[in-house]
């Protein structure tokens, strides 16, 4: 992404470990979330919709939570009854 992008009101600094910021940057690019990250500068992303916000939250959650907590969260998601299952009951 072009580092000369003007910052909009939706541009947010993402505070993460310096070693993790390039990994997050690449993932944001894969998801087509506008972002930029320069040497010795914080990662900045444009959060202009709710979907982008949730995607960024998910990326950061994967980096910051212990593996066991992520596994438990995923297990809980699998246990939630889906709407279609409720309708069949």
pLDDT in tens, 33-50: 999 888 888 888 988 899
With H, G, I as helix, E, B as strand and everything else as coil, classify residue 17. Answer: coil
The yes-or-no verdict on residue 74 having pLDDT over 70 is yes
12 burial via Cβ count (<10 Å: 0-12, 13-18, 19+)? middle
Number of H helices, E strands in the chain: 4, 3
Q: For residues 49 and 3, what is the distance between their CA atoms, to the nearest angstrom? A: 21
Q: Is residue 69 part of a domain?
A: yes
* pLDDT mean over 9-32: 85
Q: Is residue 6 part of a domain?
A: no
Q: Is residue 33 part of a domain?
A: yes
pLDDT for the residue numbered 85: 55
pLDDT tens digits, 57-73? 999 999 889 999 999 98
Q: Is residue 37 part of a domain?
A: yes
pTM of the predicted model as reported, rounded to 2 decimal places? 0.67
Q: Is residue 5 part of a domain?
A: no
Q: Is residue 2 part of a domain?
A: no
In which band, very low, low, confident or very high, does the pLDDT at 86 lie, cut at 50, 70 and 90?
A: low
- 64 lies in which domain range? 11-88
Q: Is residue 44 part of a domain?
A: yes
- Between 83 and 42, the more confident residue is 42
Q: Is residue 1 part of a domain?
A: no
Q: What is the DSSP letter of 21?
A: H
Q: How many domains does the chain have?
A: 1
């Amino acid at each position: 992404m072009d580092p000369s992008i003007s910052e909009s009101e939706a541009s947010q600094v993402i505070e993460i470990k310096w070693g993790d910021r390039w990994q997050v940057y690449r993932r944001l690019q894969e998801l087509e979330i506008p972002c930029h990250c320069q040497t010795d500068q914080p990662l900045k992303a444009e959060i202009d919709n709710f979907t982008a916000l949730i995607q960024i939250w998910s990326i950061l959650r994967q980096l910051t939570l212990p593996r066991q907590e992520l596994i438990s969260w995923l297990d809980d998601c699998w246990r939630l009854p889906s709407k279609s299952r409720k309708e069949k009951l």
